[in-house]
Amino acid sequence: MTEHLASLWQSLAATLDDVMPILGILVGFQVLVLRRPIANLRQVAYGFLLVLLGLAFFLEGLERALFPLGRLMAEQLTDPAFLGLERADTATLSDWRSHGWVYLFAFATGFATTIAEPSLIAVAIKANQVSGGTIGIWGLRLAVAVGVAIGITLGSMRIITGTPLHYYIIGGYVLVLIQTGFAPRAIIPLAYDSGGVTTSTVTVPLVAALGLGLSSHIPGRSPLIDGFGLIAFASLFPMMTVMAYAQLSEWHAGRRQRR
């Protein structure tokens, strides 16, 4: 029991470290520059307290329940022993077709962690408010989650095949720019934002473990050089899926109107 409390306390302290500079800036500018009393000060302070406690519990729970299991799993699924192979069997190990379970795991983890990502929930709530309800909270979150899932799956394939990262990323940029020309104008800033938002507290540790596991087990890959890049994939593809989501719903609405 005391051990649980101690580690909960540690998470709280770590969250405090994270929140303090932000609070300092907010209070500093409010008091020294804006010099206006904050409306509903008590409610706002209570809100910040909830955010602080909530994040601490959230992180503590992830560290207890999810991350150890997820990391172990990423490690086991990428281990040659799981495929019943010898380490020396480099030809089969570097063949991207041998790793079906890894792709399924990458896809499923990418999707599921994104659904639980708190900052994405925040942006979806705001977008829903601002758009007067036309952008659905769930529509946006699902679109982003599918994007992250595709991104991480492709990213794992890239680690296995060893193709240079920048080919994919630059190619992805070109696609994003082309799609920007066709997507409804109102979704574009939100789509771009969803790229950066998605990779946060829940996704990064699990995805990093997957990249590390893959790059240390595939022959010829180095965890230091090839282990990176999954996050970049995960922030690229949501832009495309969110724009696609808007294009689809526009097309759907257009069809319904014509009828």
Site for another protein in 61-120 (CB under 8 A): 61-66, 69-70, 73, 76-77, 82, 101, 105, 108-109, 111-113, 115-116, 118-119
**What's the closest the beta carbon of residue 97 comes to another protein, in angstroms?**
18
Among 30, 92, 161, 163, binds another protein (CB under 8 A): 30
The interface with another protein within residues 32-51 (CB under 8 A) comprises 33-34, 36, 38-40, 43-51
Q: How many residues bind another protein (CB under 8 A)?
A: 101
Interatomic CA distance for residues 209 and 205, integer angstroms: 6
Tell me the backbone φ, ψ of residue 87, rounded to 5 degrees: -60, -30
Which one of the spans 88-96, 193-201, 250-258 is the region binding another protein (CB under 8 A)?
193-201
Tell me the backbone φ, ψ of residue 96, rounded to 5 degrees: -70, -15
**What's the closest the beta carbon of residue 40 comes to another protein, in angstroms?**
7
**What's the closest the beta carbon of residue 94 comes to another protein, in angstroms?**
19
**What's the closest the beta carbon of residue 165 comes to another protein, in angstroms?**
5
Site string for another protein, 148-187 (x = CB under 8 A): -----------------xx--xx--x---x--x----xx-
User: Residue 215 in contact with residue 102, Cβ under 8 Å?
Assistant: no
Tokens 């996704």 found at: 203
Site string for another protein, 205-244 (x = CB under 8 A): -------------------xxxxxxxxx-xx---------
Among 13, 22, 31, 81, binds another protein (CB under 8 A): 22
